[in-house]
């Protein structure tokens, strides 16, 4: 007796949904995390040396989602340099590279504030980053809390970690003027004025003589009709 063996193949369709590390909106300028390097300097003079202060993770430009991470500790030497800037009423500067491998100062966006504001705020600052429509970095600005210096003295232990708030904005393109229609309208108006001048471009004397000739002709014709 022959035995028949039936083989049944069962196909399991496993679908694994991979979620991004963050919930991005569909209209975001770019997806994924874009990391910006934040540099600062505590030096005096026109040619300071910038060092890395931390990174800014931009999650969404349109959604204004960004976060600062301090990757470099604020050392005792940094505190002494900051106090020196405060004593000389100098400025504190930051910058962000536009390109991956910057070669000159033109490859950065930068800003500054009074060093005393950074010192009296216990390293608390607010940084605004502006992008253009294509998602490229345009500008950076900053302020401290409080923004005005009143001469407060801080303990060294309070100057160790940055308390940074990041805000993202994006420039919007305004309406494009319809210059072609405006130029065509100017040409049309010019042509109409030219036609009006060509309709009767005689001088005032010529118009006066022509009018008198017609009046004389009408008077003579009227007199002839009366004598008939």
pLDDT tens readout for residues 166-197:
999 988 765 666 677 767 777 787 777 777 66
Here the tokens at position 131 are 């992008």
Cα separation, 94 vs 68, in Å, equals 14
- pLDDT category of residue 41 using cuts at 50, 70 and 90: very high
Cα separation, 140 vs 97, in Å, equals 11
Q: What is residue 207's predicted lDDT score, i.e. its pLDDT? A: 59
For the whole model, what pTM was predicted? Answer: 0.63
Q: How far is CA 172 from CA 62, 132, 133, 186, in A?
A: 11, 8, 7, 30
- pLDDT category of residue 163 using cuts at 50, 70 and 90: very high
Calculated CA dihedral for residues 96, 97, 103, 105, nearest 10 degrees: -40
Cα separation, 109 vs 123, in Å, equals 21
């Amino acid at each position: 007796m022959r035995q028949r063996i039936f083989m049944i193949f069962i196909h399991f369709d496993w679908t694994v949904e991979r979620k991004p590390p963050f919930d991005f909106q569909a209209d975001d300028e770019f997806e994924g995390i874009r990391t910006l390097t934040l540099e600062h300097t505590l030096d005096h003079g026109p040619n300071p040396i910038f060092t890395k202060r931390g990174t800014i993770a931009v999650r969404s430009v349109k959604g204004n989602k960004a976060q600062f991470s301090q990757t470099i500790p604020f050392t005792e030497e940094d505190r002494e340099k900051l106090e020196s800037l405060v004593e000389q009423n100098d400025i504190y500067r930051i910058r962000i590279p536009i390109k991956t491998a910057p070669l000159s100062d033109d490859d950065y966006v930068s800003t500054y504030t009074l060093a005393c504001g950074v010192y009296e705020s216990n390293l608390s600052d607010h940084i605004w980053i502006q992008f253009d429509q294509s998602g490229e970095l345009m500008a950076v600005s900053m302020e401290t809390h409080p923004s005005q210096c009143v001469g407060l003295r801080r303990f060294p232990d309070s100057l160790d970690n940055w308390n940074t708030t990041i805000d993202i904005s994006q420039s919007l393109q305004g309406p494009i003027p319809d210059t072609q229609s405006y130029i065509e309208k100017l040409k049309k108006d010019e042509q109409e004025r030219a036609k009006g001048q060509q309709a009767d471009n005689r001088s005032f004397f010529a118009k006066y003589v022509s009018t008198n000739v017609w009046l004389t002709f009408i008077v003579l014709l009227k007199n002839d009709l009366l004598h008939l």
